[in-house]
Amino acid sequence: MEENLRAERLRKMEDLRKAGLDPYTNDFRPTMTAAEAQRARFAADEDTLKGAIAAGREDIQLVTGRVMTIRDSGKAVFVTIQDRTTTLQLYLKVDYVGEQGLEFFKKHVDLGDIIGAMGALFQTRVQARNEKDGKGHEVTLLVGATKLQAVGGDAPRMPSSLRVLTKALHPLPDKWHGLADVEQRYRQRHVDLIVSPEARMKLRRRARVIQSIRAFLDGREFLEVETPVLQDTAGGATARPFRTHFNALSQDMVLRIATELHLKRLVVGGLERVYEIGRIFRNEGVSRKHNPEFTSIELYQAYATYRDLMELTEEMLHKIAVDVTGSAVVKYAGKDVDFTPPYRKVALGDLVGTHLGAGDQSEIDSVVKGLELALGHVVSDVEPLRLVQKVLSNDEYTAALKELGGAVDAGSEMDFSRATWERHKADPKAFYARLGKLIDASLPRERRRDLALYLLFAVFEHEIEHTLWNPTFVVEYPISASPLARRRDGDPAIVDRFELFSAGMEVANAFSELTDPVDQRGRFEAQARMKALGDEEAQAVDEEFLAALEVGMPPTAGEGLGIDRLVMLMTDSATIREVIAFPQLRRA
């Protein structure tokens, strides 16, 4: 069926060429958009227009657009065209375009064609949709309505008042249903945008979100910069990178997983307020909230702390919501999300402890307690063991497992003991109680506290973050979950950091930056150890960044904000695919 329709349209295309008309011309310029036509002054009805034509006072306009509907009533045809702004009705009447012109249109123009039309604007009466509506009027372009083409004049050939500018060889999907298959909507995004005003709205709002961010930061003397996408070493986040090869240098490269480290090097260089809006690439799964290629903004401000960025974030998100939607309260998934400052602020330990019915755990420093709270509330029963291994050194981890009576399997994934877990998994509660006691007896308070909070962080990610609806700042993260953040003065197990959650999604992540190059090297080396053990998300030591830190970075706070998720909120989109023009799909 599709091939038959395409063959018919190819024939019409050739007929146009035979008539001396280019079906893919580029010599027609509109004088107004459809939206401007809707706002323009025009005749009250066709009789008024006839009088203006007769007196030579008609205001002739040229419009362009894609044909979306055709309604043939014999001696007249009503056509709806759509341009970048909205739709406009065209009226082709035999009195104005002549028999030849009307027949030309019916034979050569199809739904989906892009046309140009010349005529004058007036109002037509439209049938009521229901009794409450009553009869209304619709702005319409009367095609061919010029003094020479008025009733009694010589009607010219159709192409002088209506032109085919682009002949479409494929029909559009049904106007009322669009592309029913969601997968096809994303594969044929160009068609989806033609038939779905909502899809076009979301991309327009996306642009307005970015414009609002730029205006906000530019007004605060931030400088927009660009940093490399191709990098020697992936850094600035914990994620698996995409890998490629630079032939000219015979060198393996990665696509960036964050813009952080290069931006901080610019701060070292004296650009004390910088930001970048750019594409980030993480070789991860696809989900409702994740696309492997996404857009973020990262900003850095010297002589500021994460608390300063809390205030900046509240002001910026409030401004974005008002700029884009007209209100600080936006609708998402049928519920209100209120971006009016101030936002709720809550410590990670308090949030998790309350959720588990254990009371505020902000001061937790017992690994026994952390393991007890985590068991049954993370992705799997073996997950706490994996988290323990990430925090302990290889020697500490091996010694603990041997003490528990299990051999360490050299070379196994993450080097955790499968033998030990298999032996104890029948009673994980007792196993973790014994493991926790060994660790609590061997580690200083700072490290016990870090590990305990790290276990609570896993609970938060698994069970709590998706429940946070109105904007909420979560603070007091453990150092093991924050390898680039500054330690808290007086409590070095936690860092000066917040994550912002709204509508069950992480929207932003910010912290006071670690400026101590010795401390930073130690944390990089800890990540490199996990990388060597098989953790594909851990990163290597970035010597260039460390060299920059040794030159000296001023006290600084930095933040990353996910633009795609923010646009989801501003457009009430259930999936990230809706707000990305071309989301990643499996090859058809």
Q: Please provide the DSSP assignment of 491-523 as one string.
A: EEEEEEEEEEEETTEEEEEEEEBP--HHHHHHH
**C-alpha span between 344 and 337 (Å, rounded):** 13
**C-alpha span between 521 and 16 (Å, rounded):** 71
> Torsions phi, psi of 273, nearest 5?
-135, 110
Helix locations, 219-276, DSSP H: 260-268
Query: Which residues have a Cβ under 8 Å from the Cβ of 215 and sit 6 or more positions away?
Result: none
Burial readout 492-512 (b: 16 or more C-beta within 10 A, e: otherwise) = ebbbbbbbbbbbebbbbbbbb
- The Cβ-side half-sphere exposure at 140, using a 13 Å CA radius, reads 23
* Prior bond of 444 cis (ω within 30°): no
**C-alpha span between 588 and 582 (Å, rounded):** 14
Residue numbers of the chain with a pLDDT score lower than 50: 128-134, 148-159, 176, 412-413, 415
Q: What is the pTM of this model?
A: 0.89
**C-alpha span between 309 and 313 (Å, rounded):** 6
**C-alpha span between 345 and 62 (Å, rounded):** 57
Residue 64: name the closest of 78, 45, 79, 83 by CA: 83
Tokens standing for residue 518: 């010795």
Tokens standing for residue 165: 């500018």
**C-alpha span between 502 and 341 (Å, rounded):** 13
Query: Which residues have a Cβ under 8 Å from the Cβ of 489 and sit 6 or more positions away?
Result: none
Tokens standing for residue 436: 């926790």
**C-alpha span between 455 and 377 (Å, rounded):** 10
- pLDDT at residue number 149: 45
Q: Indicate the class that CATH gives domain 2-172.
A: mainly beta
Contact 451, 322 (CB under 8 A): no
* Beta bridge partners of residue 335, listed in sequence order: 332
Q: Tokens 């038939």 identify what position? A: 195
**C-alpha span between 572 and 334 (Å, rounded):** 9
**C-alpha span between 274 and 218 (Å, rounded):** 10
- Residue 476 Rama label (left phi>0; alpha psi -120 to 50; beta): left
CA geometry: angle at 190 spanning 186 and 194, to 5°? 110
Q: Is 16 exposed, middle or buried (0-12, 13-18, 19+ CB in 10 A)?
A: buried
**C-alpha span between 538 and 47 (Å, rounded):** 76
Q: How far is CA 349 from the centre of its chain?
A: 30
Contact 185, 179 (CB under 8 A): yes
- pLDDT at residue number 158: 45
Q: Is 201 exposed, middle or buried (0-12, 13-18, 19+ CB in 10 A)?
A: exposed
Tally Cβ neighbours within 10 Å of residue 75.
Answer: 11
- Residue 522 Rama label (left phi>0; alpha psi -120 to 50; beta): alpha
**C-alpha span between 424 and 431 (Å, rounded):** 6
Please report the sign of the dihedral spanned by the C-alpha atoms of residue 494, residue 500, residue 503, residue 504.
Answer: negative
> Torsions phi, psi of 151, nearest 5?
-55, 130
- Residue 143 Rama label (left phi>0; alpha psi -120 to 50; beta): beta
- pLDDT at residue number 423: 83
The 3-state DSSP class for residue 335 equals: strand
- Please tell me if the domain spanning 2-172 has the same topology as the one spanning 197-343+506-579: no
Tokens standing for residue 353: 């402890």
Homologous superfamily of 197-343+506-579 in CATH? Bira Bifunctional Protein; Domain 2 (3.30.930.10)
Domains of the chain, by residue range, sit at 2-172, 197-343+506-579, 344-469
* 3-12: long-range pairs with CB below 8 Å, 24+: 5/170, 5/171, 6/169, 6/170, 9/110, 9/167, 9/168, 9/169, 9/170, 10/169, 12/107, 12/108, 12/110, 12/167
Q: What is the pLDDT of residues 35-81, one digit of tens each?
A: 999 998 777 777 787 777 766 666 889 999 999 999 999 999 999 99
- pLDDT at residue number 184: 83
Residue 275: name the closest of 262, 287, 288, 286 by CA: 262
Q: Tokens 């439209």 identify what position? A: 126
Helix locations, 326-382, DSSP H: 348-355, 367-374
The 3-state DSSP class for residue 30 equals: coil
- pLDDT at residue number 541: 87
